[in-house]
Amino acid sequence: MHEEPALGAIGVLTIGTRGASGPGEALLRVSGGTEAYIAWSEHALPRGTQVLAVTKRGPREVDVVPWPEDPLEVPGGVAP
């Protein structure tokens, strides 16, 4: 199984992360479907947070950061 499609994937936390204290779980949109990954983040993030996978830690493990629900809907209509 090829794991690279998870990098840059957007998904949602099904189990909140605890920052350095421990991971959560994210359902990421990859390969035309969704797959569960162990998700780590710098700071604690609650369940239901939309996230972006930014770094692969190992098989089925990624670092995530919060991601806006619709990055194109920001003041001025331009994504940061």
* Domain boundaries of the chain, sorted by first residue: 4-67
Residue-level pLDDT at 63: 97
Residue-level pLDDT at 68: 87
CATH of segment(s) 4-67 = 2.40.50.140
**Spatial CB neighbours of 41, under 8 Å, sequence gap ≥ 6:** 17, 19, 24, 51, 63, 64, 65, 66
- Reduced to 3 DSSP states, what percent helix, strand and coil does the chain have, rounded to the nearest 5? 10, 50, 40
Specify burial of residue 21 (Cβ count, 10 A radius: 0-12, 13-18, 19+).
exposed
Residue-level pLDDT at 10: 95
Residue by residue, pLDDT tens for the chain (80 residues) are: 444 678 999 999 999 999 999 999 999 999 889 999 999 999 999 999 999 999 999 889 999 999 987 655 555 555 44
Q: What is the pTM of this model?
A: 0.80
